[in-house]
Amino acid sequence: MTNVLIIGATGTIGGAVRQTLLNETDDQLTLFARSASRLSVSDREKVVAGDVMKDADLDKAMSDQDVVFVALSGPLGQFAKKIVAAMDRNNVSRLLFITSMGIYNEIPASVGSNGNLENNSFLRSYRDAADVVEESDLNYTVIRPGWFTNGPVDYEITRKGEPFGGHDVSISSIADFVKNAVADETYYSHDSVGLNTK
C-alpha cells in the first residue's frame, strides 16, 4: 500500500488517476484541491482543501506521503517551485508531474510541429515547471501527454530527446502510466516521458 497525494484532484487527469488507483490498487489517497468540498470520498481517501501557493497548506497535505502526483494548470513554474520545496521540507521524494508534449520542441512535422514551444508560447509555463522538477533532488518523472481523448488504455512511451510519437493519448492511458509509476519508484525515474496512442 502506498500513500499518494493527488494535487489537482478535481481536474480531468487528477480525477482519472484517482479512479484508477482506487479501482486497481490498495493505495491510500489524499486529494488536494481548492474546491475540495465538491469531492465525496471513499474510506481510502481523505481531502485537504488548500492553495498550492501556501506553504502551510502543502505541508499539511504532504504529511506521511510516499508519492506526490501533480496535474495542474496555471503558472506551473511557480507551482512546481512550491511543491518541490514542500516535498524537501517533508522528506517526500517521489514526484510525478504532468506537463505537455512540445516543451522540448520534440514534436516532429509528421505529428504537427506547430505544437512545439518554439511555435506556441502557451507551453512556456509547462517547460518552466519541467525545468524546476528536473533540477530538483527528487525522484521525479515528468509526464508529457499528447492531446487528451477518451479512448482505451493503449499508449507508447518516448523519452526526452526522442521525437514524440503521436498527437493524442487517452486519459485512461495517462492514468495507467501513473499507476505503474506509483507502484515502482524506479519506473522512468529521473526521466521525462512522452505518452501517445500507439
The pLDDT of residue 145:
98
Enumerate the H helices of the chain as residue ranges.
Answer: 12-24, 55-62, 76-89, 124-134, 171-183
* CA of residue 87 relative to chain centroid, distance: 15
15 has a pLDDT exceeding 80 = yes
pLDDT digits (tens, 9 = 90+) for 116-127: 999 999 999 999
147 φ, ψ to 5°?
-70, 140
The pLDDT of residue 134:
98
152 has a pLDDT exceeding 90 = yes
Q: Which three cell numbers stand for residue 27?
A: 493505495
pLDDT digits (tens, 9 = 90+) for 87-118: 999 999 999 999 999 999 999 999 999 999 99
Name 141's bridge partners: 96, 191
